[in-house]
A and B are shown apart, each in its own frame.
Chain A
Amino acid sequence: MKHLKRAYLALMIVFMYAPIIVLMVFSFNRSKSRANWGGFTLGWYSELFKDPKILSALYTTLSVAVLSALIAAVLGTAAAVGIDSMKSRGRRIMMTVTNIPVVNPDIVMGVSLMLLYIFLFNAFSFLRLQLGYATLLLAHVSFNVPYVILSVLPKLRRMDDHLFEAALDLGAPPFKSFYKVILPEIMPGVVTGAMLAFTMSVDDFVVSFFTTGAGVENLSVLIYSMARRGINPKINALSTLMFAFVLILLYLINRSDTSKQRKGERELNEADY
């Protein structure tokens, strides 16, 4: 029985990894065919780094992800502090609004933002605006903010309200009280939210697809247009690099987590004695 279970798990792991591994192996294939091996080459990788479209898409993806995560972190943290202090009714309304981008299908969010942008462009037609980097960034901030709010709120709920009031009573201005008293306590939530936001932004295709234009493409949009045209070993090379990058990142995060945990445990043990 145990062998059967082991075999089943192994089979499922093969199912999960076979397509990825095939993709990676064929990025080193000299022949452009995806079924026959024509010898080893690194040519697709060097072409990848010579392709200005891919490089600019990489830059767009990363800069949009970093900027949208930062803006969402500031906006979302402020919002969470406000929502946390609200009475039940206002709070319920704000939570419903916050949940809309989370539950709403990506594609509906994408087309609704596209309609908004076109509507505004027509209203301010003298400015001659068009879809591009700014609209892409604003869209990413919009779907990122809820994730920051949802990861900061639990931290705020666990905090003692009186600490902030005490700081105010002692004469600190509201922003300084927030900065000195609340922020250090909720920082883990803010960081988690910002990291989540970064990941969502890098991974997003659907919303980007509808909200970008004028030649501004992030990696997802570029990969989509390449993949629709069929086979392209450059995509394989790009996938391999992205997957390797993710694996290294996961490994580093995991390692720092366990070392922190060990340190935490050690401190706990020392505290016992």
Chain B
Amino acid sequence: MLKGSAKRAAVAPYVIWSALFVIIPILLVIYYSLTMETDGKLVFSWANYARAFQPTYIDVMLRSGRLALISTAACLLIGYPVAYIMASREFENRSFLLFLFLVPMWMNFLLRTYSWLALLENNGILNTFLSGIGLPKLALLYTNKAVVLGMVYNFLPFMILPIYTVLKKMDHSLIEAAQDLGADSRNVFFRLVLPLSTPGVISGITMVFMPAVTTFIISDLLGGSKSMLIGNLIEQQFMKVSDWNFGSAMSMILMGVVLVLFTVFTMVDKDGEGGALY
């Protein structure tokens, strides 16, 4: 009895810490989201949530979802082949190849995003090159395209890594068995390899979609006035217009979306792994 309590007492500082720095802050966000300032006092109100569903803000949320979805799909289409090729046994130095794809992740996120400014600018390297070979300039920077590009560039390794891990662990004799039974390479891929790699694909999708839907740096640095995402809206409410109540309501909505998606993804992932056993 006493032995257990000695250990259990060790958790006390953390309980206090997380109450103060995790739970109370979230309760404050909830409190602010459900109140409005009238005559210098905070009064209960649903108005912030009602305001969030005005067409302007619906547009912002839909755009966040759409750009994050496009980026996730692009990461999957680009990243799956990378993971697949690296996991196939044709190359030596597989771990070095993987290392090459992970090194850029060690560079500061802001710097990685900033580096695209130089390439995409109107008088940047890409356009200098294009006009050098006689092609028209492209207006890329400060568009939604640039935002998607920034997301794909920043989050691609998050897609490659989990898929690669699953594919590498896959039992190679299964593929040989399928081939022996007469499956052509297309059948082997679509009916064996792809279904078995589902858990990796799902955690890749989670790891790309979540940061993409919540970002405000990428859209801030690479996007234009028409690329406002939920993250930018929240940042604006807190840092520029000081409407903490509306900003809190948007934060609650964002948190809700992320938690629901996360729960769904983890549930699907469990099913995927369960299915992969048989």
Give residues in A with beta carbon < 8 Å to B.
2, 5, 8-9, 12-13, 15-20, 22-23, 26, 33-36, 75-76, 78-79, 81-86, 94, 97-98, 100-101, 103-109, 111-116, 119, 138-139, 141-142, 145, 149, 164-165, 168, 174, 178, 202-203, 205-206, 210, 219-220, 223-224, 227-228, 230-231, 235, 239, 242-243, 246-247, 250
A144 CB to nearest B CB, Å: 11
A76 and B2 alpha carbons, distance in the complex (Å): 22
Contacts of B46 in A (CB 8 A): none
CA distance A250 to B102 in the complex (A): 11
Can you list 29 pairs linking A and B with CB atoms under 8 Å apart?
A2-B90, A12-B78, A12-B82, A19-B115, A23-B111, A23-B114, A34-B118, A78-B13, A79-B13, A82-B9, A105-B231, A107-B234, A108-B214, A116-B20, A116-B21, A116-B25, A141-B21, A145-B18, A168-B6, A205-B108, A210-B238, A227-B117, A227-B221, A228-B220, A239-B115, A242-B111, A243-B111, A246-B107, A247-B103
B-chain residues with CB within 8 Å of residue A106 when the two chains form the complex: 214
B147–chain A nearest beta-carbon distance, Å: 15
Q: Which of B11, B103, B125 contacts A22 (CB 8 A)?
A: B125
User: Hey, which chain A residues are within 8 Å of B234, CB to CB?
Assistant: 107-108, 111
CB distance from A150 to the nearest CB of B (A): 13
- Is there contact, CB below 8 Å, between A113 and B21? yes
- Given known A-B contacts A26-B118, A228-B220, A105 and B81 have beta carbons under 8 A apart: no
C-alpha spacing A164/B3, complex, angstroms: 8
Interchain CB contact (< 8 A) of B258 among A79, A103, A113, A203: A103
Write the B227-238 contact mask toward A (1 if CB under 8 angstroms, else 0).
000010011001
> With A104-B255, A107-B235 given, is the CB distance from A20 to B106 under 8 Å?
no
- Taken residue by residue from 92 to 134, chain B's Cβ proximity to chain A (1 for < 8 Å, 0 otherwise) reads as 0000010011011011111110111111010111011000000
A154 to B107, CA, bound (A): 29
Contact B238 A75 (CB under 8 A): no
What distance in Å separates the Cβ of A8 from its nearest Cβ neighbour in chain B?
6
Tell whether B43 is near chain A: CB-to-CB under 8 Å: no
With A34-B121, A223-B114, A242-B107 known to touch, is A79 a contact of B10 (CB < 8 Å)? Answer: yes
Q: Is the pair B114, A235 in contact by a Cβ cutoff of 8 Å? A: yes
Q: Determine the distance from Cα of A243 to Cα of B108 in the docked complex, in whole angstroms.
A: 8
Does B58 lie at the interface of the complex (its beta carbon under 8 Å from any beta carbon of A)? no
Closest A residue to B237 by CB, please name it: A111
Given the interface contacts A94-B11, A113-B25, does A22 sit within 8 Å of B254 by beta carbon?
no
- Give CA–CA (A85, B231) in the complex, Å: 39
Specify which of B24, B103, B123 is in contact with A33 (CB 8 Å cutoff).
Answer: B123
B18 closest partner in A (C-beta): A97
| Inter-chain contact B28/A116, CB cutoff 8 Å | yes
* Bound Cα distance from A192 to B112, whole angstroms: 25
Q: How many angstroms between the C-alpha atoms of A36 and B128 in the bound complex?
A: 9
Chain A residues near B20 (CB, 8 Å)?
116
| A-B pairs, 6 with minimum CB distance | A82-B11, A79-B14, A112-B25, A19-B115, A85-B7, A105-B214
Nearest chain B CB to A208's CB is how many angstroms away? 11
Closest to B90 in A: A2
Q: Contact: A5 with B125, CB < 8 Å?
A: no
Question: Do A115 and B115 touch across chains, with their CB atoms under 8 A apart?
Answer: no
Chain A residues near B106 (CB-CB < 8 A):
243, 246, 250
Complex Cα spacing A122 to B248, Å? 18
Instruction: Name the B residues within 8 Å of A205 (CB-CB).
Output: 108-110, 217
B216 within 8 A of A: yes
Pair B3/A165 contact, Cβ less than 8 Å: yes
B90, B101, B258: which contacts A13 (Cβ < 8 A)? B101
Q: Assuming A2-B90, A19-B119, A138-B21, is B107 touching A243 (CB within 8 A)?
A: yes
Known contacts A35-B124, A107-B214; is-contact A97 B23 (Cβ 8 Å): yes
- In the complex the two chains form, is A97's CB within 8 Å of B22's CB? yes
Assess whether B49 is interfacial by the CB under 8 Å rule: no
Q: Which of B56-104 contact A (CB under 8 A)?
A: 78, 81-82, 85-86, 88, 90, 97, 100-101, 103-104
Query: With the chains together, A112 CA to B252 CA distance in Å?
Result: 10
A35 in contact with B125 (CB, 8 Å): yes
The CA-CA distance from A268 to B210 in the complex, in Å, is 43
Given contacts A82-B7, A82-B11, A105-B210, are A20 and B115 in contact (CB under 8 A)?
Answer: yes
Q: Which residues of B contact A116 (CB under 8 A)?
A: 20-21, 24-25, 28
Interfacial chain B residues near A12, Cβ < 8 Å: 78, 82, 101
- Closest residue on chain B to residue A139 by CB atoms: B21
Is there an interface contact between A16 and B104, defined as CB atoms closer than 8 Å? Answer: yes
Taking a contact as CB atoms under 8 Å apart, the answer to whether B82 and A9 are in contact is yes
